[in-house]
Amino acid sequence: MSRDRDMVAFSIDGQEVEARPGTLLLPVARALGFEIPSLCHEDGVGPYASCRLCLVEADEGRRTRIVTACDYPVRDGLAIRTSTPRVDALRRSVIRLHLARAPRSPEIRAIAARLGVASPEGLRENDRDERCILCGLCARVCAEVVGAHAIGMAGRGGRKRITLPFDEEGGREC
């Protein structure tokens, strides 16, 4: 592979690739045809790493660690593995949590099926939107793409929700 000096060389699943320094891994990998699941990533919107499905194994020479591909910048000499027993087990654990939170989401069900995770039994009805994992993508698109800042995230933990600015009336919990 000829080397442009404005590029960094690294590998994904053993394939040598190049990208501009600082480019984020997920869009590079997807552009090259590598399948890495995610729910909270959308081209044109800043990375947020909230869904945790884009986990990959990054070998930086001295150590190997699990990182989120959507917000991980590529570097020279990096070796990325998109599917290892460790990565696959973590993804299955994460998708199980998403299925518990949003069992009626077609996207989550499709990813779960690809990862070999069965849908949860005995779904209980409640008042939240059972298709939303509160990844914040809708709020980020509204702010970064539309420029409206018309919705946002409020609360933490079990009280986290999508709402209107300043939590005005009309917002709803997901």
Per-residue pLDDT of the chain (174 residues; tens, 9 = 90+): 555 679 999 999 999 999 999 999 999 999 999 999 999 888 888 888 889 999 999 998 889 999 999 999 999 999 999 999 999 999 999 999 998 888 888 999 999 999 999 876 655 555 555 778 888 888 888 888 999 989 888 888 878 888 887 776 654 554
Please write the tens of the pLDDT for every residue from 61-76. 889 999 999 999 999 9
Q: Which amino acid is at 146?
A: V
**What stretches of the chain show up as alpha helix (H) in DSSP?**
25-31, 85-101, 106-114, 137-140
Distance in angstroms (rounded) separating the CA atoms of residues 15 and 171: 47
Distance CA 56, CA 62 (A): 17
Is 49:70 a contact under the CB 8 Å cutoff?
yes
| Count of C-beta atoms within a 10 Å radius of residue 95 | 24
pTM for the whole thing?
Answer: 0.82
CA atoms of 69 and 130, how far apart (whole Å): 26
Whether the Cβ atoms of residue 12 and residue 59 lie closer than 8 Å to each other? no
Helix (H/G/I), strand (E/B), else coil: 134: coil
CA-closest candidate to residue 45, choices 29, 24, 66, 31: 24
